Amino acid sequence: MGASIGIVTAEGISAGLVDANRKISGRILQYPEHGGVADDLTTLPANKIAEKLAEIILEVAAGQHVDSVGLAFPGVIRGGVVEESPNFPQMKGQQISKAVCTHLEAHGQSPKVVVSNDADVVAAGIAATRNQLDHLIRVWTLGNGIGYGRYPSGTEIWEGGHTVVTMDPKEKYCSCGGVGHLEGIMGYRSMRLRFLDLEPEEIFEQAHEGDARCMDFVKLWHRALAAATASSVHMEGPGKFFITGPSARYLNLSMLHRYMHEMVMMSTLQGYVFEIVPGGHEIAIIGAAVSAAMEQPATVTAAP
């Protein structure tokens, strides 16, 4: 592959140039500069977000020719369009790849711009850095939202973070507004909404110290992930599940395995494995860039 830029939007933006060996060359550029949350991103109008992304892409390119740009964005992304994005409601329906291309062309760059879901690029990054581009890769990203990344991503939706894991009508903390969702239990934001008096760190600490309310929640948190994973196993078969993201540090793998054993009883489906992989922007940037470089140009077919 030629030079490709991976750019990932989450709480902030991070971007880097990925070379033919699928390694980041040079430094990772971040907005805000030292990482963290960019408060202005959620309030910026859609055209300003596209302009900001183009600005960062041009800065990473630093004047050299770029073949492709892989842009990762949270939400349901299809054909370069953000169809749905609970965290960026102003982006709903936006043709983000077209908008970014227009800005880039004005500055003499005309790369292929491919937009992917932010969790799918983590799966693609794991596949690319482990030479497993021929494998099915599934990954849970545990952060403010809960992402379900799948490689290859295809044209399906795979909003696994919104898997229904409970029938309790009181379970309504998911950012999308849906009842009973995995993210409504596991998401960082959802945990803060549920425990108005405790930060997520304190919930897990106090569970460790024996607090009954926190212990019950920690069990629910693990059961929820087991339930969503069991659903994936029952739909697509067993295999390896990667887990990453800031909240992966709260994970107790033996507890997760115990609940999985209760939920997946058919012996042919029990060959599942979990692996926690370090977070960080690098893997997502590589995944975004590799996804863009591999994407075939869209074939235009005449209307019937």
Contact footprint for Zn ion (CB under 5 A)? 162, 174, 176, 178, 181
Distance, CA of 152 to CA of 36 (rounded, Å)? 29
Residues 199 and 214: beta-carbon distance below 8 Å: no
CB of residue 3 to Zn ion, shortest distance in Å: 37
Distance, CA of 41 to CA of 50 (rounded, Å)? 11
Query: Smaller CB distance to Zn ion: residue 122 or 174?
Result: 174
Query: Smaller CB distance to Zn ion: residue 122 or 228?
Result: 228
CB of residue 176 to Zn ion, shortest distance in Å: 3
Of 126, 159, 65, 46, nearest in space to 291 by CA = 126
Find the Cα–Cα–Cα–Cα dihedral 248, 10, 145, 292, rounded to 10°. -90
Query: Smaller CB distance to Zn ion: residue 24 or 228?
Result: 228
CB of residue 224 to Zn ion, shortest distance in Å: 12
CB of residue 245 to Zn ion, shortest distance in Å: 16
CB of residue 174 to Zn ion, shortest distance in Å: 3
CB of residue 118 to Zn ion, shortest distance in Å: 15
DSSP string, 15-53: EEEE-TTS-EEEEEEEESTTSS--GGGGTS-HHHHHHHH
Query: Smaller CB distance to Zn ion: residue 171 or 282?
Result: 171
CB of residue 181 to Zn ion, shortest distance in Å: 4
Q: What is the largest CA-CA distance in the chain?
A: 66
Query: Smaller CB distance to Zn ion: residue 99 or 165?
Result: 165
Query: Smaller CB distance to Zn ion: residue 53 or 186?
Result: 186
CB of residue 166 to Zn ion, shortest distance in Å: 12
Query: Smaller CB distance to Zn ion: residue 176 or 277?
Result: 176
Query: Smaller CB distance to Zn ion: residue 31 or 221?
Result: 221
Kindly list the distances between the CA atom of residue 178 and the CA atoms of 108, 141, 195, in Å, as whole numbers in the listed order. Answer: 44, 19, 19
* β-pair partners for 268: none
Residue 145, phi then psi, degrees to nearest 5:
-105, 170
Distance, CA of 77 to CA of 62 (rounded, Å)? 28
Strand-pair category, 68-73 with 112-117: parallel
Q: Reduced to 3 states, what is the DSSP secondary structure of residue 185? A: helix
